[in-house]
Structure 1
Amino acid sequence: MRHQTVATGGAFPAGSSSALRLDPHSLPVLFDAHDQRADGSVRHIELHRERVVLHRALRGMRMAINVRVSDFLGVAVRGLDDAKMLVLAHRDPALSIPLCVSADRVEIDTAWQMWSAIFGLPQLPEEKVREPAPRRRRHNAIRERRPKFLVRRRAGGLLGDAGLYHGEREIIARD
C-alpha cells in the first residue's frame, strides 16, 4: 500500500504550500485529517476504491469505521476563506473525507471530475450559505388536555337563529 501522509488542519492561509492534494490514480492512500472531536484532533484515513476506513481515538477508546464508497452522497466542493476544498460528502458530516484543498479553481474542477469518475459518484454542487431553519413551535400545554379540533372550534352560543325553529309543529315520539 502506498502512503501519502498529509496533515490537514481546516483552512489554509493564503500562499500556504501545505495544501492537501491526493492523487486519485494512486489508490489506496493513507493520510491524516483534522477531526476536532478525536484525541489529538487527528484521524487517520485509509482511502480505497471501494471503501474508506477511518481510524480515530475518542477519549482513549480507539475505533475504526469502515464505510463503503457507495454509501457516500458524492464528491462536493466546499468553500473556505481563501480556497476551495473537495470532499467525499456523506450524510453524516463527521464522515466526510477531504480530498483536495487548493486556491486554484481549475485544479479543483479537474480533481472534482477525476474523483467523481474513479468512485462512480455524482458531482455535488457547491453548497450556498443557508440560513438556519425557523424554530419549531414549542410544546403547547393545552394540546394534551383537549383534542386538536376542539382547540380550533369557537365556543358555543354563536349559532344565532340557525338552531331555532319557528312556526312548526313539534313531532314527539312516545313509547
Structure 2
Amino acid sequence: MRRQTAISGINPAGSSRSLRLDPLSLPVSFAANDSRADGGIRQIELHRERVTLHRAVRGMKMTISVRVSEFIGVTVRDTSHGRALVLLHRDPSLAIPLLVTEDAGECAAAWQTWSEVLALPQLADDTREPAPRRRRRNAISDRRPAFLVRRRCGHSLNPAAIHRGEREIIARD
C-alpha cells in the first residue's frame, strides 16, 4: 500500500502551493491548517474507512479517530486561494480539506471522484450561519395534570338564575 506524505511530493494544506490529494491512492497522510492547534497545524491520516487527526492543543497531544461514514458528505467552498473541496463533518473543526484549486473543471471532477471513493454524497455549499436554536415549548405545561383529567369539569351556575336577595343553597351529603 502506497502512502502520500509531505516528503513524497504532496504539499501540506498550509504550503504556498495548492493542496491536491489523490482519492485513488489512499491512505493519505498530510498536514492541514488548524487555528485551535498548537503551531496552527494538524496531521491527518485519511483511509477509506476512517480519518485520524493528530494535533496538540495547549500542550496536550490528542488523536481523534472518526469513521468516514460519520462525515456528512463532500462539498465545494470558495476560499481566498480558489475553490476548496472539503470533507464535511457536523463538527466544523473536523472538516478536512481535500483539494484547493482555481480550475472549476478539475474541482468538479475531483468532487465526483472523492464522493464515489468515500461513498458520501455531494453536497451544495452551505456556509450560512446556522439559525439560532428556537426555544422549545413545553407541551406538557398546557395539559391538565393526570388526576384532574379523570375529574369532570364543574358547570358554573348562570348568575342570572340567582335572584336578588336569595342565597345559593349548597347541599352536602
Q: TM-score, normalised by structure 2?
A: 0.73
Please give the residue correspondences for 1:134-145 in structure 2 after superposition, counting only pairs within 5 Å: none
SS in 2 for 1:76: strand
Once the two structures are TM-superposed, the CA of residue 126 in structure 1 deviates from its matched residue by 1.7
Residue of structure 1 in register with 2:160 after alignment: 165
Q: How many residues align?
A: 147
Moved over 3 A (4+): 131-137, 166-171
Residue of structure 2 in register with 1:142 after alignment: none
Counterparts of 1:70 and 1:134 in 2: how far apart (Å)?
A: 27
Once the two structures are TM-superposed, the CA of residue 134 in structure 1 deviates from its matched residue by 5.8
Residue of structure 1 in register with 2:12 after alignment: 7
Contact between 1:4 and 1:22, CA under 8 Å: does it hold in 2?
A: no
Q: What is the CA deviation profile of residues 84-115 of structure 1, one whole-angstrom value per residue up to 9, with x for unaligned ones?
A: 11011000000011000111111110000000
Please give the residue correspondences for 1:78-93 in structure 2 after superposition, counting only pairs within 5 Å: 78-81=77-80, 83-93=82-92
SS in 1 for 2:125: coil
Counterparts of 2:44 and 2:20 in 1: how far apart (Å)?
A: 14
Contact between 2:81 and 2:100, CA under 8 Å: does it hold in 1?
A: no
Counterparts of 2:102 and 2:125 in 1: how far apart (Å)?
A: 15
Identity of aligned residues (%): 54
Q: What is the CA deviation profile of residues 54-111 of structure 1, one whole-angstrom value per residue up to 9, with x for unaligned ones?
A: 0001111111101000010011111113511101100000001100011111111000
Residue of structure 2 in register with 1:157 after alignment: none
Counterparts of 2:132 and 2:70 in 1: how far apart (Å)?
A: 30
Contact between 1:33 and 1:45, CA under 8 Å: does it hold in 2?
A: yes
Counterparts of 2:30 and 2:53 in 1: how far apart (Å)?
A: 10
Which segments of 5 or more consecutive residues in structure 1 lack a partner in the other structure?
138-146, 149-162
SS in 2 for 1:24: coil
Q: What is the CA deviation profile of residues 22-58 of structure 1, one whole-angstrom value per residue up to 9, with x for unaligned ones?
A: 0001111110000001000000000111110000011
Once the two structures are TM-superposed, the CA of residue 2 in structure 1 deviates from its matched residue by 1.3
Counterparts of 2:132 and 2:4 in 1: how far apart (Å)?
A: 46
Q: 1:111 to 1:135 in 2, by over 3 A?
A: closer
Q: 1:174 to 1:58 in 2, by over 3 A?
A: closer
SS in 2 for 1:91: coil
Q: 1:122 to 1:174 in 2, by over 3 A?
A: closer
SS in 2 for 1:25: coil
Once the two structures are TM-superposed, the CA of residue 18 in structure 1 deviates from its matched residue by 0.5
Counterparts of 2:12 and 2:22 in 1: how far apart (Å)?
A: 15
Q: TM-score, normalised by structure 1?
A: 0.72
Q: 1:112 to 1:61 in 2, by over 3 A?
A: same
Please give the residue correspondences for 1:144-163 in structure 2 after superposition, counting only pairs within 5 Å: none
Which segments of 5 or more consecutive residues in structure 2 lack a partner in the other structure?
136-140, 143-157
Residue of structure 2 in register with 1:71 after alignment: 70
Q: 1:134 to 1:26 in 2, by over 3 A?
A: closer
